[in-house]
């Protein structure tokens, strides 16, 4: 039996690739040395988060109640992608707990225990929650199981090997048995095991099982508590008047009218605008409406989307920084029989999560305590600490359920958390504050998926093979000027701008991918699937144009260009089979196919469209195949495919953010159109069965849908659409 030092596995500087390689080697059913953190002080302190002495912390990830509940500590925020259920499944599996006894709770902010093992910081993102926690949660469960066995062995005075654990009960052939709860106090006193055995995957009873109830409770009866719902004594509601244009600041303001209104308590200036504090939201809004503010627009953004796109197109004429180079494109193009070119324009996109940003903060002599849907506790701790000029460990963050994020809450500037902290610091009263943004505040705040321009050129030889591939990407950098810059930007190339255009499914002889990074005053951010949100569309629709030029079927054309990675063929074959790609075009059905890998997960989709009236189309059905390695929870994989496809359909069909003279034009759901019930196609998901290490599912479905839809339309109309959202009325 192979023994690996777990410590090695957890070193935070391991690259993702190393991590996956090592976990592959780990396999299943072997013993490994563990380096599990013990339970945090906070958990041992009964006052923390309602933990009572009736709870017995076993390690950093699990505590057992005298009432026989098993509380799993979840280090990743759950905003619908299912971390509560998924991570608890993994731990419960190795612990042999009964699913019904499992409850979940968010971890406190503490990167020494709860860091994302792929980044070293406590954060959720890049579809990594399951991937980085898979072995850790298994170890945590196995370790807890072992401590329960040790406790039972000591209590019953029997050899540990003779104890059986099943469904939350320990038993011995002599008739003795006990629940986890009954043994919890004794178990908590056992030393942390130095080695644990993990199950062979063939013995899994929870992992991979369909039909487990979800653990993020209270979402069908209104009892789940989001930041918007969080109450505490003396809480004041804060709303902020933000500058109307990017780059504008407060010149002067008059508070007289606002302060005269009932319910308004205070008005304060903060770096991001003017905050009104009141007893209720409605009083605060009344106060904000009554403010008289003069804005200093001397440094405000003058131009908008149209002007920026013009600049991007001009920039595309020249060469950019080399993101990838294989072979010799000059030779490739010289050999080509046909050269095909394409251009794509991608607009700014808003996350527009259902719950606008908000945050509760309470300042005290101890530091600051905050409650909100926090996606990156470590980075928010640092940003808030630096804004308040205190130490990061004086910033205590309590994570709550969040009404969506799609990247918005992992803000590189911790914008709304810092705003809340600064309001709490600036107000005279020492009451806690709840910062509430309206939809308009949320939409105007920016942090959009950057606008991009892509220019592509490829050469085909007489056999229809691609012999040259040139891809230029022009747009703002997400990480430039932030703490992420050092890791993300190499040789002038921000990985987050080009990812998805580099690791192609296809094996081309000659490739050049270039990036031109542009400056603009619009705050930009990662948006569900980051770079792939635009690169997948460009690559995959261009593939269809090329297949058309080559006179080949789009699926065959893809298959003949695939490289060594068989998992691409796996999802393509599965989706083609389930969508009956080769045969069914009956009843006016129009189909388009696309494939893409992001965050280690392979997704292929076939969009099935219908011509509802002459020249009018709608997306009827989407068949999706996904390979995300070992499946932890098939229901959640399917839910994320459905949700990810729906989310990607909004910018495919209708959503875009436009900026005019530094101002956001679409500020609410009347002008910012998003997918609704009537627009939602039927989605059918098929999962490739796999024993590869598990990878994420939160993002990878999103980038595949727009090329699949565009390809279906192209197949029917032969018109190349170079702009998103697509025009379905052609």
| Binding footprint of another protein on the chain (CB under 8 A) | 79-82, 213-214, 216, 218-226, 228-229, 231, 237, 262, 279-282, 286, 352-356, 401-404, 406, 438-439, 635, 639, 642-647, 649, 668-670, 674-678, 680, 682-683
Which CB sits closer to another protein, 82 or 450? Answer: 82
Phi, psi of 647 (to 5 degrees): -65, -40
Instruction: Report in angstroms how near the CB of residue 437 gets to ligand FES at its nearest.
Output: 13
Instruction: Report in angstroms how near the CB of residue 709 gets to ligand FES at its nearest.
Output: 22
Instruction: Report in angstroms how near the CB of residue 514 gets to ligand FES at its nearest.
Output: 38
Q: Which residues of 100-131 are buried (b: 16+ CB within 10 A; e: fewer)?
A: ebbebbbbbbbbebbbbbbbebbbbbbbbbbb
Q: Which residue is nearest to ligand FES (CB)?
A: 354
Using rule CB under 6 A, residue 80 touches ligand FES: yes
Which CB sits closer to another protein, 98 or 618? Answer: 618
- How would you classify residue 80: left for phi > 0, otherwise alpha for psi between -120 and 50, otherwise beta? left
User: With contact defined as beta carbons under 8 Å apart, do 647 and 351 qualify?
Assistant: no
How many CA atoms lie less than 13 Å away from 78 in the CB half-sphere? 24
Sole residue written with tokens 């399951």: 130
Using rule CB under 6 A, residue 629 touches ligand FES: no
Q: What is residue 192's three-state secondary structure?
A: coil
Distances from the Cα of 384 to the Cα of 232, 412, 545, angstroms:
21, 12, 49
Which CB sits closer to ligand FES, 79 or 581? Answer: 79
Instruction: Report in angstroms how near the CB of residue 352 gets to ligand FES at its nearest.
Output: 10
Site string for ligand FES, 350-379 (x = CB under 6 A): ----x-------------------------
Instruction: Report in angstroms how near the CB of residue 219 gets to another protein at its nearest.
Output: 3
Helix (H) or strand (E) holding 242: none
Which CB sits closer to another protein, 225 or 339? Answer: 225
Site for ligand FES in 296-355 (CB under 6 A): 354
Sign of the CA dihedral with 373 first, then 376, 381, and 382 last: negative
Instruction: Report in angstroms how near the CB of residue 404 gets to ligand FES at its nearest.
Output: 5
Q: Which does 282 bind (CB under 5 to 8 A by kind): another protein, ligand FES, none?
A: another protein
Q: Which does 678 bind (CB under 5 to 8 A by kind): another protein, ligand FES, none?
A: another protein
Which CB sits closer to ligand FES, 354 or 462? Answer: 354
Which CB sits closer to ligand FES, 50 or 222? Answer: 222
Cα(630)–Cα(690) distance, integer angstroms: 5
Instruction: Report in angstroms how near the CB of residue 609 gets to another protein at its nearest.
Output: 17
Sole residue written with tokens 């002007």: 307
User: With contact defined as beta carbons under 8 Å apart, do 489 and 495 qualify?
Assistant: yes
Which CB sits closer to ligand FES, 404 or 446? Answer: 404
Tell me how many residues contact ligand FES (CB under 6 A). Answer: 3
Cα(78)–Cα(488) distance, integer angstroms: 26
Instruction: Report in angstroms how near the CB of residue 600 gets to ligand FES at its nearest.
Output: 25
How many CA atoms lie less than 13 Å away from 361 in the CB half-sphere? 29
- Could you write out the three-class secondary structure of 321-374? EEEEEECCHHHHHHHCCEEEEEEEEECEECCCCCCCCEEEEEEECCEEEEEECC
Sole residue written with tokens 């390690």: 59
Which CB sits closer to ligand FES, 338 or 354? Answer: 354
Instruction: Report in angstroms how near the CB of residue 179 gets to another protein at its nearest.
Output: 26
Which CB sits closer to ligand FES, 351 or 457? Answer: 351
Site string for ligand FES, 388-407 (x = CB under 6 A): ----------------x---
Cα(549)–Cα(328) distance, integer angstroms: 22
Residues in contact with ligand FES by the rule CB under 6 A: 80, 354, 404
């Amino acid at each position: 039996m192979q023994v690996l030092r777990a410590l090695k596995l957890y070193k935070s500087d391991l690259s993702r690739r190393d991590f996956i390689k090592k976990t592959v080697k780990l396999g299943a059913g072997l013993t490994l040395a563990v380096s599990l953190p013990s339970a945090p002080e906070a958990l041992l302190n009964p006052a923390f988060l309602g933990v009572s002495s009736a709870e017995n912390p076993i390690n950093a990830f699990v505590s057992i109640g005298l009432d026989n509940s098993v509380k799993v500590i979840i280090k990743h925020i759950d905003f619908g992608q299912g971390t509560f259920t998924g991570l608890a499944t993994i731990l419960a599996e190795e612990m042999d707990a009964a699913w019904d006894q499992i409850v979940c709770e968010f971890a406190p902010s503490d990167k020494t225990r709860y860091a994302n093992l792929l980044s070293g910081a406590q954060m959720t993102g890049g579809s990594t929650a399951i991937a980085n926690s898979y072995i850790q949660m298994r170890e945590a469960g196995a370790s807890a199981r072992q401590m329960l066995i040790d406790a039972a062995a000591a209590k019953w005075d029997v050899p540990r090997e003779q104890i059986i654990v099943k469904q939350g009960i320990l038993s011995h052939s002599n008739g003795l048995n006990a629940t986890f709860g009954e043994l919890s106090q004794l178990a908590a006193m056992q030393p942390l095991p130095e080695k644990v055995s993990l199950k062979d995957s063939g013995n899994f009873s929870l992992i991979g099982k369909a039909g487990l109830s979800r653990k993020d409770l209270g979402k069908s009866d209104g009892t789940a508590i989001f930041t918007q719902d969080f109450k505490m004594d003396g809480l004041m509601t804060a709303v902020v008047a933000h500058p109307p244009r990017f780059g504008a600041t407060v010149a002067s303001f008059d508070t007289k009218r606002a302060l005269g209104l009932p319910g308004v308590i205070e008005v304060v200036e903060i770096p991001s605008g003017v905050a009104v504090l009141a007893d209720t939201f409605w009083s605060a809004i009344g106060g904000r409406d009554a403010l008289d503010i003069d804005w200093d627009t001397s440094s405000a953004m003058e131009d908008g989307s149209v002007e920026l796109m013009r600049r991007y197109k001009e920039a595309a004429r020249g060469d950019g920084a080399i993101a990838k180079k294989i072979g010799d494109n000059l030779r490739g193009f010289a050999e080509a029989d046909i050269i095909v070119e394409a251009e794509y324009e991608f607009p700014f996109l808003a996350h527009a999560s259902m719950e606008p940003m908000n945050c509760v903060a309470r300042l005290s002599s101890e530091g600051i305590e905050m409650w909100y849907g926090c996606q990156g506790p470590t980075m928010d701790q640092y940003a808030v600490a630096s804004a308040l000029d205190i130490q990061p460990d004086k910033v205590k963050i309590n994570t709550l359920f969040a009404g969506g994020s799609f990247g918005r809450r992992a803000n590189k500037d911790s914008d709304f958390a810092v705003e809340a902290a600064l309001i709490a610091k600036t107000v005279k009263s020492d009451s806690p504050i709840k910062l509430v943004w309206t939809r308009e505040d949320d939409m105007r705040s920016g942090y959009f998926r950057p606008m991009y321009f892509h220019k592509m050129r490829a050469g085909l030889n007489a056999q229809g093979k691609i012999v040259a591939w040139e891809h230029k990407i022009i747009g703002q950098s997400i990480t430039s000027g932030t703490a992420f810059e050092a890791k993300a930007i190499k040789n002038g190339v921000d990985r987050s701008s080009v990812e998805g255009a580099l690791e192609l499914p296809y094996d081309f002889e000659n490739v050049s991918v270039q990036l031109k990074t542009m400056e603009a005053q619009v705050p930009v951010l990662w948006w569900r699937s980051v770079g792939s949100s635009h690169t997948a569309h460009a690559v995959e629709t261009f593939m269809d144009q090329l297949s058309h030029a080559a006179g080949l079927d789009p699926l065959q054309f893809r298959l003949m260009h695939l490289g060594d990675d068989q998992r691409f063929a796996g999802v393509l074959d599965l989706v083609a089979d389930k969508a009956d790609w080769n045969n069914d075009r009956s009843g006016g059905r129009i189909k388009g196919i696309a494939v893409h890998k992001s965050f280690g997960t392979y997704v292929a989709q076939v969009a099935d469209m219908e011509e509802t009236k002459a020249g009018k189309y709608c997306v009827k059905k989407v068949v999706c195949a996904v390979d995300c390695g070992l499946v932890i929870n098939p229901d959640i994989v399917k839910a994320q495919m459905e949700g990810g496809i729906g989310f990607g359909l909004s910018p495919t069909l209708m959503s875009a953010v436009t900026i005019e003279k530094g101002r956001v034009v679409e500020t609410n759901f009347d002008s910012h159109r998003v997918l609704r019930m009537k627009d939602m196609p039927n989605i059918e998901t098929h999962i490739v069965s796999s024993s590869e290490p598990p990878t994420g599912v939160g993002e990878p479905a999103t980038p595949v849908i727009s090329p699949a839809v565009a390809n279906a339309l192209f197949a029917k109309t032969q018109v190349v659409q170079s702009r998103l959202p697509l025009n379905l009325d052609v």
